[in-house]
Structure 1
Amino acid sequence: MIWHLIAALFAGLGTAGIGLLLRFISAKRLPRWIVPALGGLGMLGYQVYYEYSWLSFKQQQLPDSAEVVDVEYGSMLWRPWTYMYPMPVAFEVIDRDHLSATEADGERMVEFFLYRFEKQVADRVTHQAYLMHCDAREWVPLVGNERQPDASALHEIGADTPLYQALCETPRA
């Protein structure tokens, strides 16, 4: 986070310098407030750039076996431009190298970890083990060290969701 603060300060200093240069070129016909106004716009511009590029930056840090299965976009009152262009606030990933597919009574089951990345002051990453019953299109969290299914948290999933397609639409080995 300290690096983003430093980058915002340098963006502000750079655009304030452009304001000084414009005042110098115009023989000081431009008002004095143009310098801090451009400095503020530069810092705001960097912050907006960082917020919208956060998702692609985080995806570049993931291993090649990671597949994004859901992206959550949000709007905030103190960021009015997000009502027109919602910004990414969270995304979910599965790791294809750590899937465990099994057949039970001719029905396909896939055990996987779902990683959730949330954009906050300090980025937050959580993970949970799940079991997907592909034929019934149901998934359930696995709890405890023994990874026992929590039947009270059973969810149905649509066949058109990216999570289901990533886990169950792959060819059977």
Structure 2
Amino acid sequence: MIWHLIAAIFAGLGAAGIGLLLRTLSGKRLPRWIIPVLGGLGMLGYQINVEYNWYEHKRSLLPETARIVQVQEDAMFWRPWTYLFPMTTAFSVVDEQGMTTRVQEGEKHVEFLLYRFEKQLQDSVSHQTWLMNCATRETLPLEGEERRPRLDAMRRLSSEAPLYRAVCTEA
């Protein structure tokens, strides 16, 4: 985070320098306020660039076996441009390498880890073990070391759901 602050300061100084250069080249006909305005726009532009590239940067760090199954985009009132261009704030990933497949009573069951990456002040990553019955498309979380199923959280996915396709068609 400190590196982003330093980079934002240098982006502001660079943009302010461009404002100073433009003012000098115009023979001081441009108003003096152009320098701090361009400095502020440079810092704002850097921050917007970092926020919009967060998802692509995190995605580039994932291993080859990771499949993205959900992307969440949001608009925020304190970032009015996100109403026109929503920003990715979270995404979920399944690692194909960590899946365990079992066949019980003729039905394929897959146990997998679902990782959720969220963009916050400090980026957060959470993970949960899940169990999916590929025949019925039902999935439920497994809790604790003993991996107890939470039946109250069971949900049924559609056959077109990216999570179902990532777990059951590739496993």
After superposition, give the CA deviation of every residue in 1:46-88 in whole Å (9 maximum; x if it has no partner).
Answer: 1110111000101111112111111000010000000011000
CA positional deviation for 1:6 = 0.8
Cα distance in 2 for residues equivalent to 1:13 and 1:161 = 47
Deviation at 1:144, TM superposition (A): 1.3
> For 1:108 and 1:46, how far apart are their aligned partners in 2?
48
Percentage of matched positions with identical amino acids: 56
TM-score, normalised by the number of residues in structure 2: 0.98
- Could you list the structure 1 runs, at least 4 aligned residues long, displaced by more than 6 angstroms after superposition: none
Structure-2 residue corresponding to 1:109: 109
What letter corresponds to residue 77 of structure 1 in structure 2? Answer: F
| Aligned counterparts of 1:15 and 1:23: Cα–Cα separation in 2 | 12
Unaligned runs of 5+ in 2: none
The equivalent of 1:67 in structure 2 is 67
Deviation at 1:169, TM superposition (A): 1.7
Measure the CA separation in 2 of the matches of 1:148 and 1:17: 61
Please list the CA deviations of residues 19-64 of structure 1 after superposition, one character each: whole Å capped at 9, or x if unmatched.
0000110010000000000000001101110111000101111112
Q: TM-score, normalised by structure 1?
A: 0.97
Moved more, 130-139 or 62-71: 62-71
Aligned to 1:161: 161
1:86-143 deviation per Cα after TM superposition (whole angstroms, max 9, x unaligned):
0000000111110001111111111000000000000011000000111101100001
Residue in 1 that maps onto 2:127: 127
RMSD: 0.8
Pairing of 1:25-104 with structure 2 (within 5 A): 25-104=25-104
Aligned residues: 171
